[in-house]
Amino acid sequence: MPTEAQRDALEVVLVTPRNPLNIGAAARAMANFGFRRLKVVAPFAPTWREARSAVGAEELLQNAQSTECLAEAVADATLVVGTGTLTYRRPEQKVVLLPLLAPLVSQELARGGRVALVFGPEKHGLTREDLSYCQVMVEIPTDARQPSMNLGQAVAVCLYELAAGEGRGINQKTPGGAEPLAYTEADRAAAASGRLDLVAGVIEETMRAAGYSPKTMQAANRHDLRLTLRRLTLSEHDTRRILGLFRRILWRLKHIPVGDDKPD
């Protein structure tokens, strides 16, 4: 099993779950494998904390944090992992198979990072917008005739992989010997999701000030920018440098009249 400190650095995030019983089942699965940090994003039912299916996990459910949006829920995470099946979607981020979830998470926790494991609602799973907050997607292999899995079962399957991965050798590598995610410096501090959103906001504001694209393209650009920043696996040091650069560019765009700027 992962150590207690490692389990405390991993959060299970449920996005807009509809059935309180499924939330309770997810909480019970977390308790089975020793995970305690649960976040619920915009739950459908106001009585979800009272789910009777959370047998042995009542305290975990009461202590769960509720947030209005996914961005808020994963703001502190340095690695955000989306879950789902590829049956009806074309992923825009790196996809790893379920058996590689343990080494992926282990690598990030060993760096001192924080991990958010994100699950979508029962009816359709994570949306394209939800997945834009994820650096990677873990595929849960299911039969094409019934690709949808019960939320509590999906949580149990993924947490079992994390627990079993320790016994299989949690530091295993992906096929071909490559690491699950490539970092140029293994010991550098990864940027949290909230910091990446801050960088995206400043870049987007700079794009608007520069007249980069019409309003009709701003939502698409925002989505692509969010994905790009997560693919880059930026460190906290990287985000500070990028913020400084774009804030300087933005200041010049707002304060220096066109034609008056001169090279330094």
Q: Is the same domain home to 120 and 239? A: no
Q: Is the same domain home to 89 and 33? A: yes
Q: How confident is the model at residue 176 (pLDDT cuts 50, 70, 90)?
A: very low
pLDDT recorded at residue 262? 53
Are the C-beta atoms of residues 104 and 174 closer than 8 Å to each other?
Answer: no
Round the CA-based radius of gyration of the chain to a whole number and report it: 20
pLDDT digits (tens, 9 = 90+) for 194-240: 999 999 999 999 888 888 878 888 888 889 999 899 888 888 888 88
* Residue range of the domain that includes 198: 193-255
Paired tokens of 242: 């990028």
Q: How far is CA 59 from CA 26, 27, 54, 246, in A?
A: 13, 10, 9, 45
Residue 174 lies in a domain: no
Q: Is the same domain home to 104 and 221? A: no
Q: Is the same domain home to 143 and 208? A: no
Residue 141 lies in a domain: yes
Total count of domains within the chain: 2
pLDDT recorded at residue 188? 61
pLDDT digits (tens, 9 = 90+) for 76-90: 999 999 998 887 777
Amino acid identity of residue 89, one-letter, is R
Q: Is the same domain home to 207 and 162? A: no
pLDDT score of 172 more than 60:
no
Burial 225-241 (b: 16+ CB within 10 A, else e): bbbebbeebbbeebbee
The domain that holds 126 is classified in CATH as 3.40.1280.10
Pairing between β-strand 136-139 and β-strand 10-15 as defined by DSSP bridges: unpaired
